[in-house]
């Protein structure tokens, strides 16, 4: 049943095009909505088991010889993310029904959305490293399709390409780390690797493993300096932003770090990298958010900063920090999801998201404004008892002050962490209040494309649910802490810690830090016109986006120059490159492996007929050099192929003889058909240098190929595989003809795919012939 739950979105995506064609009167989203709702209800049924420490593991054997099985595992961490994916997914689909008109290509949109939902479920529930990686890359592909949904817009396609380039790069690095971990522990099971964590940590490859896996996590969760793809991804439809970039895809890297914390946490390298880059991302994202003027761009940089905050807490590694991290994951999904939907509503009902043109919308859109007020103040961590963002922010401050069993290096850097936490939170407060007040208060600053008005109730329903969750979680946090957060902490740390969450912690450092954020943030907001010119100095013209563009353009320009250098249009040049590389690489390999060896033992006797045929083949091959007629050259060269067929007959290989005979006949016929329409060889005068190069390359290739043929008999690095086939062809394949058994049984899949390739090639050739443009009337 668990496998079916993960596969359900993929199965639904398969049927979506058929439903879309058959049903035009009803919005397609109503059919899609059933999928996340059903899955959300299904995963809710696991809460009771997880609370009692009962974890579910379902395994389907895929490649057992490599230890790669499709295993799905539900514990506190996996269940929470599954509920997040399906719960937020249900609200996003409901929102998209009213956001996207039926004139859009809804079939494409919902197929991509379901593919992404299934891929994310696969990521958070997989117990096998390589199954997780497969789903991981599928999230990159499906998000690429979603971000580029409006492919007519250049910004959409470039944003989609950037997100895919960066996240796939990180994914490949992560795969390298997975391969090393699997090799060290001897298992591909994540649970099995966690049980052998000491083997990984004590390995000399540990730093490389950690860095490569964190590259995957950092690129997916938009950590500095890989954050540049997230703002550009805002060109996607707002439902996509609300789903991918607030609750799911950007949390995949967070999930990975949390899942593997039982392996890496406790090491100084993990602490320094994860905490350091997390706090740097928090500060940079919040600082850059204040600079933005587009509502979704503000929310994009806000997401970057919030992800950095969560990553930093996971890096701290204490039970309090982990609890604060998982609590903020929940809180962030609620207030940020609602704010993305509010931004979409504003864009939908006014025609713009530019805060320089907006203002005074509270009068026209009071419900939307109220939702934005609660969402932004929760994001800012405003000290109100009904805002969940304040609770997790207080826990963040508290966790930045205390580190258990700190090493020397941790003690040296940890005193700076509270200051970085406060600094990032100050700018978080500034962009939060800026987002609300500049949009909904004051006077309208510019003529808007559309007259502002309140959104329909259907579009408001999803953000209303999320804002209600903001309030409910804040009022009864222990209910969620007991049901969801406590099992998550257990999965991440291995211990069920204290999950009691409260609003008032008394007078202490966290409270003073919050007051500093409130006071300094208010001052910075009120005086922003006086200091915002600092952005022209820092970062000025520097940006991660420009660095990415410079890197990509540099690679493209370098590739273009290199390609133009060797793509001269000369067939002779291309053959020289190929043959020189062949001679150099193969010759070097044979020289260092002792391949140039001639052995005369165990040779088959050679009779006069074989010698005569070999002489005839050599004369024919040599004679082609002096042929001036193409057809004559092909006929003479055919002697070589037919002579080889005779040699196969003499050496008792009728199967090979028949194959060679057919191939040679077809080849000669095709060459004759083609060359009949070509002119005869021209007698070109070549320079002595050109002739010398030709002679050297020809002789080198001839000698090397001859030595390869001799070495295949003379040099035996391994026992011949033919012994295995001869021994097992009848027992395993049920046939006496060893060659046939190999083709049909031992490598049957390869043979089948070869037939498929030939069939596709034939179909392609037939199609091109049929689709040839006919001669136009009046033309010769």
Q: What is the pLDDT of residues 128-155, one digit of tens each?
A: 999 999 999 999 999 999 999 988 888 8
Mean pLDDT of the chain: 88
pLDDT computed for residue 6 by the predictor: 93
C-alpha distances in Å from residue 116, one per residue of 120, 252, 472, 525, 720: 6, 12, 29, 38, 47
Distance CA(284)–CA(488), nearest Å, equals 28
Torsional class of 398: left (φ above 0), alpha (ψ -120 to 50), beta (otherwise): alpha
Residues 16-47 pLDDT 10s = 988 888 777 788 889 999 999 999 999 999 99
On the 0-12 / 13-18 / 19+ scale of CB atoms within 10 A, 529 is exposed
DSSP 8-state code for residue 235: G
Residues 225-283 pLDDT 10s = 999 999 998 888 999 999 987 778 889 999 999 999 999 988 889 999 999 999 999 99
* Stretch 100-119: mean pLDDT: 90
Distance of CA 296 to the CA centre of its chain: 23
Percent of the chain residues past pLDDT 90, beyond the cut? 48
Per-residue pLDDT at 60 exceeds 70: yes
Distance CA(54)–CA(506), nearest Å, equals 37
Residues 647-697 pLDDT 10s = 888 888 887 888 888 888 888 887 777 776 666 666 667 788 888 888 899
Distance of CA 608 to the CA centre of its chain: 63
Per-residue pLDDT at 778 exceeds 60: no
Question: Coil, strand, or helix at residue 580?
Answer: helix
Distance of CA 563 to the CA centre of its chain: 28
Per-residue pLDDT at 312 exceeds 50: yes
From 248-257, 324-333, 447-456, 681-690, the region with the lowest mean pLDDT: 681-690
Q: Is the dihedral of CA 24, 27, 32, 34 positive or negative?
A: negative
Helices (DSSP H) in 186-316: which residue ranges? 190-195, 197-201, 206-220, 229-232, 238-244, 249-259, 261-264, 268-270, 276-289, 295-316
Question: Coil, strand, or helix at residue 245?
Answer: coil
Three-class secondary structure assignment of 17-81: HHHHHHCCCCCCHHHHCHHHHHHHHHHHCCHHHHHCCCCEEEEEEEEHHHCEEEEEEECHHHHHH
pLDDT computed for residue 678 by the predictor: 67
Distance CA(692)–CA(204), nearest Å, equals 52
DSSP 8-state code for residue 626: G
Task: Output phi, psi for 454, to 5 deg.
Answer: -65, 145
Question: Coil, strand, or helix at residue 126?
Answer: strand
CB 402 within 8 A of CB 321: no
Q: Which of 461-475, 498-512, 622-636 has maximum average pLDDT?
A: 461-475
C-alpha distances in Å from residue 708, one per residue of 143, 174, 191, 711: 49, 39, 48, 5
Question: Coil, strand, or helix at residue 128?
Answer: strand
DSSP 8-state code for residue 143: H
* Stretch 722-742: mean pLDDT: 82
Q: Which one, of 387, 516, 520, 378, lies nearest residue 436 by Cα?
A: 378
Q: How far apart are the first and last CA of the chain?
A: 67
CB 163 within 8 A of CB 232: yes
Residue 225: cis peptide before it, omega within 30 degrees of 0: yes
* Stretch 558-577: mean pLDDT: 89
Provide the CB-side half-sphere exposure for 741 (13 A, CA): 16
Torsional class of 335: left (φ above 0), alpha (ψ -120 to 50), beta (otherwise): alpha
Distance of CA 430 to the CA centre of its chain: 33
Task: Output phi, psi for 365, to 5 deg.
Answer: -135, 70
Q: Which one, of 333, 392, 379, lies nearest residue 86 by Cα?
A: 333
**Number of other residues whose CB lies within 10 A of the CB of residue 772:** 7
From 70-74, 248-252, 339-343, the region with the lowest mean pLDDT: 248-252
Q: Which of 84-88, 356-360, 679-683 has maximum average pLDDT?
A: 84-88
Per-residue pLDDT at 528 exceeds 80: yes
Q: The whole model's pTM is what?
A: 0.81
* Stretch 414-437: mean pLDDT: 93
pLDDT computed for residue 450 by the predictor: 85
Relative to beta strand 56-63, strand 68-74 is antiparallel
pLDDT computed for residue 496 by the predictor: 67
Distance CA(110)–CA(30), nearest Å, equals 11
pLDDT computed for residue 676 by the predictor: 67
pLDDT computed for residue 422 by the predictor: 94
* Stretch 405-421: mean pLDDT: 84
């Amino acid at each position: 049943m668990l496998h079916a739950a993960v596969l359900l979105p993929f199965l639904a995506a398969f049927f979506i095009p058929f439903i879309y064609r058959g049903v035009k009167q009803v919005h397609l989203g109503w059919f899609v909505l059933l999928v996340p709702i059903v899955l959300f209800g299904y995963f809710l049924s696991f809460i009771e088991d997880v609370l009692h420490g009962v974890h579910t593991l379902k395994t389907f054997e895929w490649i057992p010889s490599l230890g790669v099985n499709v295993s799905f595992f539900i514990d506190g961490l996996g269940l929470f993310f599954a509920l997040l994916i399906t719960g937020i997914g249900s609200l996003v689909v409901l929102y998209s029904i009213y956001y996207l008109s039926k004139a859009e290509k809804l079939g494409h949109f919902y197929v991509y959305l379901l593919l992404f939902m299934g891929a994310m479920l696969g990521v958070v529930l997989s117990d096998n490293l390589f199954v997780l990686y497969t789903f991981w890359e599928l999230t990159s592909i499906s998000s690429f399709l979603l971000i580029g949904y409006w492919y007519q817009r250049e910004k959409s396609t470039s944003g989609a390409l950037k997100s895919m380039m960066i996240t796939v790069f990180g994914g490949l690095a992560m795969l390298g780390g997975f391969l090393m971990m699997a090799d060290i522990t001897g298992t591909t099971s994540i649970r099995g690797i966690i049980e052998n964590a000491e083997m990984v940590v004590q390995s000399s490859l540990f730093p490389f493993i950690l860095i490569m896996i964190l590259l995957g996590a950092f690129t997916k969760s938009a950590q500095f300096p890989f954050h540049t793809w997230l703002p550009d991804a805002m060109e996607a439809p707002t439902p996509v932003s609300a789903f991918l970039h607030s609750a799911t895809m950007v949390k995949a890297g967070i999930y990975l770090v949390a899942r593997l914390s039982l392996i890496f946490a406790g090491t100084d390298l993990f602490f320094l990298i994860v905490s350091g880059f997390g706090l740097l991302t928090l500060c940079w994202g919040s600082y850059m958010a204040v600079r933005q003027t587009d509502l979704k761009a503000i929310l994009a940089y806000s997401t970057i900063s919030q992800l950095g905050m969560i990553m930093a807490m996971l890096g701290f590694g204490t039970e309090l920090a982990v609890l604060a991290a998982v609590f903020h994951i929940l809180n962030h999904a609620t207030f940020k999801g609602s704010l993305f939907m509010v931004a979409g509503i504003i864009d939908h009902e006014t025609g713009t998201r530019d805060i320089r043109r907006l203002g005074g919308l509270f009068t026209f859109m009071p419900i939307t404004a109220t939702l934005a007020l609660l969402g932004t103040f929760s994001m800012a961590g405003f000290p109100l008892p009904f805002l969940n963002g304040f609770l997790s922010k207080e826990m963040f401050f508290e966790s930045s002050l205390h580190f258990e069993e700190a090493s020397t290096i941790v003690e040296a850097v940890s005193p700076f962490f509270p200051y970085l936490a406060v600094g990032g939170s100050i700018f978080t407060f500034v962009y939060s209040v800026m987002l609300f007040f500049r949009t909904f208060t004051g006077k309208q600053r510019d003529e808007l494309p559309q007259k502002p008005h309140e959104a329909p109730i259907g579009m408001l329903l999803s953000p209303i649910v999320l804002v209600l969750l903001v309030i409910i979680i804040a009022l009864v946090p222990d209910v969620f802490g007991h049901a969801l957060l406590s099992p998550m902490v257990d999965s991440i740390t291995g211990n069920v810690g204290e999950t009691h969450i409260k609003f008032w912690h008394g007078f202490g450092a966290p409270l003073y830090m919050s007051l500093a954020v409130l006071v300094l943030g208010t001052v910075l907001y009120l005086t922003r016109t006086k200091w915002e010119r600092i952005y022209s100095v820092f970062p000025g013209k520097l940006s991660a986006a420009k660095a990415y563009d410079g890197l990509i353009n540099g690679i493209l320009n370098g590739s273009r120059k290199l390609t133009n250098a060797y793509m001269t249009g000369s067939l002779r040049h291309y053959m020289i490159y190929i043959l020189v590389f062949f001679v150099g690489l193969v010759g070097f390999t044979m020289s260092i492996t002792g391949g140039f060896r001639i052995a005369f033992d165990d040779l088959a006797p050679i009779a006069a007929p074989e010698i005569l045929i070999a002489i005839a083949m050599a004369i024919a091959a040599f004679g082609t050099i002096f042929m001036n007629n193409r057809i004559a050259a092909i006929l003479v060269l055919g002697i070589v192929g037919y002579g080889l067929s005779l040699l196969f007959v003499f050496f008792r290989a009728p199967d090979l003889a028949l194959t060679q005979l057919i191939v040679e006949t077809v080849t000669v016929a095709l060459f004759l058909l083609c060359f009949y329409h070509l002119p005869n060889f021209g007698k070109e005068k070549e320079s002595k240098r050109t002739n010398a190069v030709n002679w050297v390359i020809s002789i080198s290739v001839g000698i090397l190929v001859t030595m390869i043929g001799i070495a295949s008999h003379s040099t035996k690095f391994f026992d011949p595989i033919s012994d295995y086939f001869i021994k097992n062809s009848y027992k395993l394949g049920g046939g006496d003809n060893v060659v046939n058994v190999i083709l049909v049984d031992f490598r049957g899949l390869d043979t089948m795919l070869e037939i498929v390739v030939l069939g596709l090639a034939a179909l392609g050739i037939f199609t091109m012939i049929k689709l040839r443009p006919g001669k136009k009337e009046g033309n010769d």
